Chains A and B, each alone.
Chain A
Amino acid sequence: MTIGRRTLIRIGARTLAAGTAALDLISVAIQTIVGSLWSYWRGKRPKGAIARQMYFVGNRSLLFVLVTLGFVGMVMVYQTCLLTTKIIDGRNQVGAQWARLLVLDVGPSLTAMMLATRVGAGIAAEVGSMKVTEQLDALRMSGVTPVRYLIVPRFLACIVMSVALSMFGMAASWGAGGLTGYYSFQINPRIFFDLSLVQPSHVAVGIMKAVAFGAAIPIVSGFCGLRAQGSSEGVGAAATAAVIGSSFAVLILDVLISFVAMVALGAGM
């Protein structure tokens, strides 16, 4: 067999594998959404499963999100003030602009990136270890659909908690930014904490992003867990793939939603 033919076969096999994986991902997404909308709300949900997952996704990630977004707020405000004071003294605008940016983009996306690392890896590792130890097969033998049982509660919990954590994260980031502005650049808090640039449409776009990110993380991570193979090495690979895949999904959704919002609401959004 010639090298060219072998390369062609290899490319074909990889394309086929990627296509199959994409179809599997779509299938997991559809099963998750249908499972949430129908059977789940008909009372067929495991008792307390959503509350448990909300605790894991929300409460256990709160400190992580607050600290990260708080530091991001401090750094961003410090750097922006530094630049604006050098070029033109526009530091009085920093608080209002930072609030607009936080609501519209930075708050939901950074929170989702944090969730992708912490929650995404956890979901993939848990589902993946159940896969390699045949617990998923045992679930199917017990009449339970693994996606409905494992991913749907995480999906619903993640959507709710992504919105909630984004709000807390934004508050932390804005607050930390305000403190930085006051102590480093003597910006009056009354001027910094100004919400006049935040429109209701910005809040709507921010919430839409938080919901979309919260939905994508458990679907992508659950999908990675369901594809785990072998032993602990396979579970590790699934967790890594989940973090990369979820982060990538967050970035793509961020671009898409921003683009749609810009088209719908105008460039001055």
Chain B
Amino acid sequence: MDAAPFISMRGVRKAFAGKPVLAGLDLQAGRGEVLFVVGTSGVGKSVTIKHLVGLLRVDAGEIWFDGRRIDDLPEHEMSAIRRRVAMVFQSATLFDSMTLAENVALPLRKHGRLRAAAALAEARRRLDEVYLGDLADRFPAEVSDGVRKRAAIARALTLEPEVVLLDEPTTGLDPINARRIDRLIRELADRRGVTAIVVSHDLNSIFSIADRIALLYQGTVRACGTPGEIRASADPVVVQFIHGHATGPMETPGF
């Protein structure tokens, strides 16, 4: 793993309707690293990773990717970044009106500039790789959550990105499918040097495949370190989160 900060967020601030969500967040990820961003619901984990691909814009602070500042890039220039940084959304977000193959083919046509027939053929090959070849012509509504999630991951990987952002990739999956997705993320980092930034609540995933874990709390990174370091942390907030205690010092919205 390369220790140089391939991706860096510096003092990022973001508020929605005057309510601050990120309050000077600093976060780095190296090449080929599997970084888990964890925290309670509503703490701003998804908001954090959406900033990395320009789906949200910072109110203040800087974002750097591979030595280039990207937070101030206009929308049309973000396209080049999105070709290198893929994202798998929380609810899989396949397009309802397209088959699985057409979903996977879309980035190939738009970013990869392939013609429709060539993109579809390539999409089928990619679906075969994740054992979904037989379901290529099904619509998202006709398949299970696990299949949708795997197809969404296949779509994210079509352009062979250098970074994959995964928003709760194992939420709603059975334990077997969840561990398969964990293995896939680990293999991407180990074999292809892909950087994976994973938002998750799944403690099994977090402690089995993460290189580093960043705990978000009140708009900043409360603790960041290897799984061993996080486990050994004496910070009561970290302890409460990793042991899942209902009571403790953590302030959680709505409770």
Contact = CB atoms under 8 A, between A and B. Distances in A.
B95 A138 contact: yes
Give the bracket for the number of chain B residues in contact with chain A.
20 to 34
Given A47-B116, A137-B93, A143 B82 contact: yes
Nearest to A137: B55
Chain B CB within 10 A, most for which of A135, A139, A143: A143
A144 interface: yes
B90 A142 contact: no
B86 interface: yes
Contact of B89 (A47, A134, A143): A134
Given A141-B86, A141-B87, A143-B82, A135 B93 contact: yes
A184 interface: no
Give the bracket for the number of chain A residues in contact with chain B.
10 to 19
Contacts of B82: 140-141, 143
Contact of B83 (A134, A137, A138, A143): A143
Given A134-B89, A137-B89, A138-B93, A144 B55 contact: no
The DSSP consensus for interface residues of chain B is mixed
A143 B79 contact: yes
B111 interface: yes
A20 interface: no
Nearest to B46: A134
A135 B83 CA distance: 17
B125 interface: no
Contact of B53 (A47, A141, A144): A141
B96 to A, nearest CB: 8
B116 A134 contact: no
A133 B148 CA distance: 14
Interface in B84-125: 86-87, 89-91, 93-96, 106-107, 110-111, 116
Interface of A: 47, 133-135, 137-144
Interface of B: 50, 53, 55, 79, 82-83, 86-87, 89-91, 93-96, 106-107, 110-111, 116, 155-156
25 contacts: A47-B116, A133-B93, A134-B89, A135-B93, A135-B96, A137-B50, A137-B87, A137-B89, A137-B93, A138-B87, A138-B94, A138-B95, A139-B95, A140-B55, A140-B82, A141-B53, A141-B55, A142-B107, A142-B110, A142-B111, A143-B79, A143-B82, A143-B107, A143-B110, A144-B106
